[in-house]
A and B are shown apart, each in its own frame.
Chain A
Amino acid sequence: MNAYIITRDNLRTWIDALIRDYTLVAPVREEEKVSLFKPVGSFTEIDLNYTNSTISPKGWLFPQTEEMFFFFTSDNQVNLEDACKPGTTILFGLRPCDVKGIIALDPVFNGTYQDCYYQMRRQNTILVCLCCTRVERHCFCNSMGGGPTNGEGADLLLTEMENGYGIEVLTSRGEELVNKYHQLFAVDGDNRVSKTRDEMGKKLASQFSRKVDISGIKEFLDQHFELPYWNELAQRCLGCGICTFICPTCHCFDIFDQSPDGESGVRSRCWDSCMFSHFTRMAGGHNPRPTKKERIRNRFLHKLKYHRDRYNLDGCVGCGRCINKCPVNIDIRQIIADLQEVARYDQLPLS
């Protein structure tokens, strides 16, 4: 596929043009320590120097709260009306791990039963990935089959260069975004873009603070469901939903109705969390995952085993958000390392 180079000035022009023609969602510094993906009205609102956004951008394909349909009931009939559908959106400046997160979500909302809401947004969303220029201390994408310059799954891949950005076209949808404004781009004749990206990739590879070895973890978990280790983790877990809500691959949701008059209203869905006790509690009171131990085990097995079992993809992309935000330092890298130890010694050795 083709590659182009765009100057910083032209990038600005391009983005402002995209904003006119599409809904452009990009990283915005909301507060000193909060970075969020939001629709922007001009290039100046975007913060391209961000590292991982506080919340993963999955919400643009799978919103935290999504109205599914409206219902109108009367004595002799029910009418259901679809909630409005979105136009074409560009998710601009996604980091490679977040693109990988979307790739991990795709099969969940696909399959025998097509999730129309996700599919509709996904088909109407163009993914523009931005290679990382630094590695944060919680990043471990390189251990999870990704990398800070690996834009696999995106439509366009941007690499910061000395005087602008290199743009590699990965899909025909991406190509369209370039072609439409072709006068802003110079063709990259001598592979400068991919060379720059490779160099950046090599440079960043040495900056990861921790290498995580997931080899054999799934196979170990296939054989070992009950481990005292989960009790140890559960002791300090607060049972909040931070990790699941900021995670790029968590997809659990609840469905609920709102109806002020009991006759008409809206059915929506919203993110839910397997860490909440009522997530699996049945109306009669029985709860298959009654304590924090079962719940935390479920979350990590989901990341390290179940997602692979079902979709042959890792359920974790190594973005490091949960590590950064967990109030009690439950660190999936440490869990993987600890599980390796448990696998080796049949228990955690006393340090």
Chain B
Amino acid sequence: MTNCRSHNPLKPFPATIIKVIDETPDVKTFQMVFDNPEVMENFKQKPGQVAQISVFGVGEATISITSSPTRKGLLEFSVKKVGMLTSALHRLEPGCKVGIRGPYGNHFPYEKMKGKDLLFIGGGIGLAPLRALIDFVLAEENRKDYGNIEIIYGARSVDDLCFKYDILERWPQMPGTKVYTTIDRAEQGWEGHVGFVPAYLEEINPTPKNKYAITCGPPIMIKFVLQALEKMGFSDDQVITTLEMKMKCGIGKCGRCNIGSKYVCLDGPVFYLSQLKQLPPEF
């Protein structure tokens, strides 16, 4: 297109689904690769950023990138089936064509987090954006930069736990990493913790000292997690969350994802609690 100084940001790059992993009855993780290797090479996301996924003929949706940038050569998106686009995506199989544009938004402050302990608190599909950062800090080349890692993760049932391999096998084996998993109600065959995430968090009672807490999950969980963290002495600058908003353009034009004068697609999705408290309660 002439007269446009840069690549048309609203035009996605063709990509192919190479693998589909069933996480839960309604969550699938898609591994995708750009059809043009150069695009793949130049797609430099940071943990916490999102992308627009196209299913041509259906539309687009904003999905957080769940794979760490340290994992080269592919992108992973974990998608819960809730609407039209995500349902269409769930019908796709390896080999199917999609479109991806991005990466968009800000990212977790991984530079500032260096030298700190990290506490991740996730619920349900809310672990997806956190996973990008978890794997980033756990990557061999970065691990030395960060302190201890605690991960508290919960879902409604065993079936609803996403990334089972990561939470039950891979991450617990990593040095300096503890994973606490819980489900809402007791189930046969589950010997782990039972209870809601905020309650489990209070039970574990992590110290706020030299630590960042990063949380994502259903709004009701976040609400009580934030209360619990405050009780434990975490300051608003130590608590970070990532927001989900309806987005269309992803580039600050379509006017949909604003909270006050901030656009979640440009100025978010990652916010310190101290920043969130400055914003109108429209999220």
Segment of A24-32, A51-59, A127-135, A284-292 in the binding face: A284-292
Residues of B within 8 A of A252 (CB): 254-256
23 contacts between A and B (CB under 8 A): A76-B97, A82-B1, A82-B8, A108-B253, A112-B251, A114-B9, A115-B9, A116-B1, A225-B280, A251-B253, A251-B254, A251-B255, A252-B255, A253-B248, A253-B249, A253-B253, A254-B248, A255-B10, A255-B248, A256-B59, A257-B58, A306-B258, A309-B261
Contact with A257, one of B11, B35, B56, B254 (Cβ below 8 angstroms)? B56
- Contact check, A80 vs B255: say whether CB atoms are below 8 A apart: no
- Contact check, B245 vs A282: say whether CB atoms are below 8 A apart: yes
With A255-B10, A289-B282 as known contacts, state yes or no: A114 contacts B4, CB within 8 Å: yes
Contact with A77, one of B4, B35, B59, B244 (Cβ below 8 angstroms)? B35
Please provide the chain B residues from 254 to 283 with a CB less than 8 Å away from any CB of chain A in the complex. Answer: 254-261, 266, 280, 282-283
Whether B14 sits at the interface, judged by CB under 8 Å, is yes
Whether A265 sits at the interface, judged by CB under 8 Å, is yes
Whether B209 sits at the interface, judged by CB under 8 Å, is no
- Contact check, B261 vs A310: say whether CB atoms are below 8 A apart: yes
Chain B residues with a Cβ under 8 A of chain A: 1-6, 8-12, 14, 35, 54, 56-61, 82-86, 95, 97, 99, 219, 244-246, 248-249, 251-261, 266, 280, 282-283
With A71-B56, A265-B57, A282-B244 as known contacts, state yes or no: A77 contacts B14, CB within 8 Å: yes
- Contact check, A294 vs B246: say whether CB atoms are below 8 A apart: no
Please provide the chain A residues from 235 to 286 with a CB less than 8 Å away from any CB of chain B in the complex. Answer: 250-257, 259, 262-263, 265, 267, 269, 272, 274, 279-284, 286
Residues of B within 8 A of A351 (CB): none
Question: How far apart sit A306 and B8, CA to CA, in the bound complex (Å)?
Answer: 26
Interface Cβ pair total, 8 Å cutoff: 149
Residues of A within 8 A of B95 (CB): 75
- Contact check, B97 vs A78: say whether CB atoms are below 8 A apart: yes
Binary CB contact string for chain A from 90 to 130 against chain B (1 if under 8 A, 0 otherwise): 00000000000000000011011111110110011000000
Whether A60 sits at the interface, judged by CB under 8 Å, is no
- Contact check, B256 vs A305: say whether CB atoms are below 8 A apart: no
Residues of B within 8 A of A124 (CB): 3
Whether A73 sits at the interface, judged by CB under 8 Å, is yes
With A80-B11, A257-B56, A283-B86 as known contacts, state yes or no: A120 contacts B246, CB within 8 Å: no
Question: How far apart sit A262 and B55, CA to CA, in the bound complex (Å)?
Answer: 10
Residues of B contacting A: mostly: loop
Nearest B-chain residue to A261, judged by Cβ: B57
- Contact check, B3 vs A305: say whether CB atoms are below 8 A apart: no
Whether A5 sits at the interface, judged by CB under 8 Å, is no
With A114-B6, A306-B260 as known contacts, state yes or no: A254 contacts B254, CB within 8 Å: yes
Distance (whole angstroms) from the CB of A259 to the closest CB of chain B: 4
Question: How far apart sit A73 and B257, CA to CA, in the bound complex (Å)?
Answer: 30
Distance (whole angstroms) from the CB of A244 to the closest CB of chain B: 9
- Contact check, B246 vs A280: say whether CB atoms are below 8 A apart: yes
Whether A344 sits at the interface, judged by CB under 8 Å, is no
Residues of A within 8 A of B1 (CB): 82, 85, 116, 120
Nearest B-chain residue to A305, judged by Cβ: B261
- Contact check, A259 vs B57: say whether CB atoms are below 8 A apart: yes
Residues of B within 8 A of A298 (CB): 258, 282
Residues of B within 8 A of A77 (CB): 14, 35, 97
Question: How far apart sit A69 and B228, CA to CA, in the bound complex (Å)?
Answer: 48
Residues of A within 8 A of B9 (CB): 113-116
